[in-house]
Chain A
């Protein structure tokens, strides 16, 4: 079945440094979504990408969807302590359910 791999598993950065997490699917995706889960919280929807090569920005966050629609990335510029949490990508094809990556846990050292 479809698999979504996410790297790295953990990332520790100094406040102000940049951060990137990568997501790769074993199959071509209809769309890719990104979620953030704060410690002790639940996943919160951030964004959805549907077009090949699509790039979207939300303030310091930049999301990309690969040309082949099999990979994606989330880049955070100048991390802040409020960015702490686990970032998940999730993708699907057609009406199949979303498959989540295992997430990247981001720690920010002030």
Chain B
């Protein structure tokens, strides 16, 4: 099976802009989670989707949003970018919600200037 894919792999934006990141899960996986990884904070949970519904949400401002499509593919959007949003954004897919093993994509490296 193909692994989790994420596009784009690298992105440079300026403050105030918005960005959309895309994730295609492993075939058959219906749950997609998004994480923000920074050197200081580690892996921070953003949100989790299952069957096109957001099931869990982390402690991030409303500028961070996401959605899942009927084919389980997912997108996340960050509006009004801030310098502190610079991070590696990781998508992970799993068979089910909650405590299932997470299979991560390569990530999107976002730099905000």
Contact = CB atoms under 8 A, between A and B. Distances in A.
Contact of B101 (A42, A48, A94, A102): A48
A65 interface: no
Interface string B28-66: 000001010000011101001000000110100000000
A101 B42 contact: yes
Nearest to A48: B101
Q: How large is the interface on B (under 10, 10 to 19, 20 to 34, 35 or more residues)?
A: 20 to 34
Contacts of A42: 90, 104-107
Interface string A28-65: 00110101000001111100100000000000000000
B104 A43 contact: yes
B98 interface: yes
B56 A96 contact: yes
Given A42-B107, A88-B43, A103-B42, A97 B56 contact: yes
A96 B99 CA distance: 8
| Residue from A33, A91, A96, A103 whose CB has the most chain B CB atoms within 10 Å | A96
A7 to B, nearest CB: 13
Contacts of A107: none
B102 interface: yes
B97 interface: yes
Contact of B98 (A35, A41, A45, A97): A97
Contacts of B48: 97
Task: Kindly name the residue among B43, B90, B104 whose own CB sees the greatest number of chain A CB atoms within 10 A.
Answer: B43
Given A42-B105, A42-B107, A99 B45 contact: yes
Contacts of A22: none
Interface of A: 30-31, 33, 35, 41-45, 48, 88, 90-92, 94-103
